[in-house]
């Protein structure tokens, strides 16, 4: 279906490689939050559903090729991150990338459970808290590094 809004940027990021290969997420940037939400609503069949209160989102999924007589095959596209120009700061970015890291962990571990300090966890509440904490730590560190004149280098 043709969408009524177009992103201003659309690119891939590869959690497990610096060589731009293997499993990847797409990052899609919109001019405004309203455009991002419209895109999500129009993509509902693709699984990009989010509530009206989100400021940015990471959608995790498995895309599977199913062919008669052949083994099902999972495609390397494991998630999509939606951002807009008022939500691209380092705090938001690292928060959504934490969710992206979880997409990669789920696929690599072939489970809904992620092992963290010896415990299997998969609980969206834990993932959300982890993403918030990481976002806060990275944002505060980057802000301080700029204040101290260490960034930019
Ligand atoms: Zn989150």
55 SS3 class: coil
Which residues have CB atoms below 5 A from the ion given as ligand 1?
A: 128, 131
Average pLDDT of the segment spanning 4-33: 91
User: What pTM does this model have?
Assistant: 0.81
Whole-number Å distance, alpha carbon 149 to ligand 1 midpoint, is 30
Please tell me the distance between residue 137's alpha carbon and the centre of ligand 1 in angstroms. 15
Angle ∠(120,122,127) on CA atoms, nearest 5 = 120
Cα(25) to ligand 1 centroid in Å equals: 16
The pLDDT value given to residue 114? 59
Between the CA of 120 and the centroid of ligand 1 the distance, in Å, is 20
Q: What is the pLDDT of residues 30-52, one digit of tens each?
A: 999 999 999 988 886 666 777 77
Summarize the confidence of residues 78-86 as an average pLDDT: 94
Q: Could you tell me the distance, in angstroms and rounded to a whole number, from the CA of residue 71 to the centre of ligand 1?
A: 34
Q: Report the interhelical angle of 90-108 vs 124-147 (nearest 10°).
A: 140
pLDDT at 109 exceeding the cut of 90: no
DSSP 148: T
């Amino acid at each position: 279906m043709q969408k009524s809004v177009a992103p201003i940027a659309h690119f891939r990021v590869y959690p497990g490689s610096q060589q731009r290969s293997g499993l990847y997420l797409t990052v899609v940037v919109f001019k405004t939050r309203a455009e991002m939400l419209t895109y999500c609503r129009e993509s509902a069949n693709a699984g990009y559903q989010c509530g009206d209160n989100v400021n940015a989102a990471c959608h995790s999924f498995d895309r599977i090729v199913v062919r008669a007589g052949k083994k099902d095959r999972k495609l390397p596209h494991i998630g999509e991150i939606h951002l807009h120009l008022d939500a691209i700061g380092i705090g938001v970015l690292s928060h959504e990338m934490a969710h992206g890291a979880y997409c990669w962990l789920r696929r690599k571990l072939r489970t809904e459970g992620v092992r963290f300090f010896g415990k299997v966890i998969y609980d969206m509440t834990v993932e959300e808290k982890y993403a918030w904490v990481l976002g806060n730590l990275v944002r505060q560190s980057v802000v301080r590094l700029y204040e101290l004149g260490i960034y930019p280098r």
